[in-house]
Amino acid sequence: MLVKEGKKKSLTFNEILEILPQRYPMLLIDRVIEINDKEAHVVKNVSGNDPFFLGHFPQQKIFPGVLITEAMAQASIVLLANSNENAQEELDELPLLYRTNIKFLDVVTPGDQLLIKIELQKKVKNSAIVEGKVYVKERLVSSGILSFTKKVFEG
């Protein structure tokens, strides 16, 4: 379900599943609490039961930075789908993340709730640039720029 008519302000987990192809354990967003054409605010609950904690610093469980980046990318795809005039027809052509410049400012551990804020910076026909910021409570834990494309690279 895309947010077009009336610009719905949030999306449930099941509505996210209609947009993203990822499934457990790679689906890394739980709820869209606010969305419009330019911004999305998304929640990811970090659970100690997540499978990657078995091998990622098992004595001091730390949520992997690459998964924070993936959560930002998934939130961005939901935003891009919402801001796309032809999104319903183009769900088969989800944008691919092709460049990032992400900074990790603090660790994320089980029990934390990530608030992921994505803001569309630029969008052209086959690509987009977004800025992402990830917070735990009011503490900024990660931020950066993500670039997406629908173009398939050859070679």
Catalytic residues: 56
CA separation for the pair 40, 82 (Å, rounded) = 9
The answer to whether the CB of 97 falls within 8 A of the CB of 121 is no
Q: How far from the centroid of its chain's Cα atoms is residue 107's Cα? A: 18
CA separation for the pair 4, 109 (Å, rounded) = 35
CA separation for the pair 93, 109 (Å, rounded) = 34
Q: How many residues does the chain have?
A: 155
CA angle, corner 124, sides to 150 and 126, nearest 5?
A: 15
The answer to whether the CB of 68 falls within 8 A of the CB of 104 is yes
Q: How far from the centroid of its chain's Cα atoms is residue 4's Cα? A: 19
Q: Which two tokens stand for residue 19?
A: 């947009």
